[in-house]
Amino acid sequence: MRLRSGKRHTVDARPEAPAATPGPAVELRDVRRRYGRGGGAVHALAGIDLALPRGTFTAVMGPSGSGKSTFLQCAAGLDRPTSGSVRLGGTEITGLDENQLTELRRSRLGFVFQAFNLLPSLTVEQNVLLPLRLAGQRQDHHRAAAVLARVGLADKARRRPAELSGGQQQRVAVARALVTSPDVIFADEPTGALDTGTAAEVLGLLRQAVDTLGATVVMVTHDPTAAAWADRVLFLADGTFVGGLEHGTAEQIAARMTALSGRTGVLAGAAA
């Protein structure tokens, strides 16, 4: 594996995160999410406790149906837990109304999805500036240029997404996620649609956001090679975290996943 040998985990050199509030970037306390009621109810999250320090990169893995997507949606304020507490950058979000949640997501969170989710009619620069536009903030062209340079796309500002490769489009999505200097970047299978080489580029950008900008990244993935870029991998099974691995190699992470799916039997016959 050709991963970041030596340049990671220099915790002392890590800059302070920009957010003013103290405490973890992401904190979940006894978070539960139930779908349906009575005998047919599904306990997608069955009591999640978690505190992620600022400036860390966490990967969440688990068999299909273990609750990864539900976890990410609840942690990012896209879905409401049935019970429990979710704090982002010190703000308790479970009591916020839809407008407040939308505002918080726009100003303090970044998102990277498997399908890139760029707007095809907008230029690369306009896509990157979209979070600022939606938040009613000034269209800061210098800022757009700076984040595009950071992801290696300084010369693509006036292109449209369809003119770029998949890897380049995902780098635009990373630039868009970075443009507001968010407290937390949530990534849901960000390399799921990419080949190995371009996946490594995108993962390197997320790693760099953590190491040089003090960003906090939470990434759901089924790929042990992608998860190996994180500081820590958390393993979900049946809606609870059943273990973690610090600084694991792709091989170690894969072995834990195999043990996990054997234990729960969930992977048998199910797509990831």
Instruction: Read off the tokens for 163.
Output: 């003119």
Q: What separation in angstroms does the CA of 194 have from each of 4, 176, 265?
A: 19, 18, 28
Sheet order of strands, 232-237 included: 109-113, 184-188, 216-220, 57-61, 232-237, 240-246
Q: Nearest approach, Cβ of 168 to ligand ADP (angstroms)?
A: 27
- Closest separation between CB of residue 269 and ligand ADP, Å? 14
Q: Does 114 bind Mg ion (CB under 5 A)?
A: no
Nearer Cβ to ligand ADP (73/216): 73
Residue 43 Cβ vs Mg ion, minimum distance, rounded to whole Å: 16
Q: Which is nearer to ligand ADP, 205 or 237 (CB)?
A: 237
Query: Is position 42 an interface residue for ligand ADP (rule: CB under 6 A)?
Result: yes
# chain residues binding ligand ADP, by CB under 6 A: 11
Strands 109-113 and 184-188: parallel
In whole angstroms, how close is the CB of 68 to Mg ion at the nearest point?
Answer: 5
Helix (H, G, I), strand (E, B) or coil at 46: strand
DSSP 8-state code for residue 66: S
Nearer to ligand ADP, 117 or 126 (CB): 117
214 binds, among ligand ADP, Mg ion, none (CB under 5 to 8 A by kind): none
With CA atoms as reference, report the closest residue to 26 among 181, 184, 178.
184
Q: Which does 35 bind (CB under 5 to 8 A by kind): ligand ADP, Mg ion, none?
A: ligand ADP
Q: Scan for tokens 């409401």, then name that residue.
A: 80
x/- letters, 48..87, toward ligand ADP (CB under 6 A): --------------x-xxxxxxx-----------------
Please say whether the beta carbons of 128 and 163 come within 8 A.
no
> Which does residue 149 touch among ligand ADP, Mg ion, none (CB within 5 to 8 A, set by kind)?
none
Q: How far is the CB of 113 from ligand ADP (least distance, A)?
A: 13
Choose the contact partner of 62 out of Mg ion, ligand ADP, none; CB within 5 to 8 A by kind: ligand ADP
- Is 164 or 267 the residue whose CB approaches Mg ion more closely? 267
Q: Is residue 69 a contact point for Mg ion (CB under 5 A)? A: yes
Nearer to Mg ion, 69 or 264 (CB): 69
Query: What order of strands is seen across the sheet that includes strand 42-52?
Result: 42-52, 26-35, 83-88, 91-92
Minimum separation from the CB atom of position 39 to ligand ADP (A): 14
Distance of alpha carbon 219 from alpha carbon 221, whole angstroms: 6
Alpha helices in the chain (DSSP H): 68-75, 98-108, 124-134, 141-150, 166-178, 196-213, 224-227, 250-264
Contacts of 164 (CB under 8 A, 6+ apart): 124, 156, 172
* Tokens linked to 127: 């896509």
In the complex, the residues that contact ligand ADP under the rule CB under 6 A are 35, 42, 44, 62, 64-70
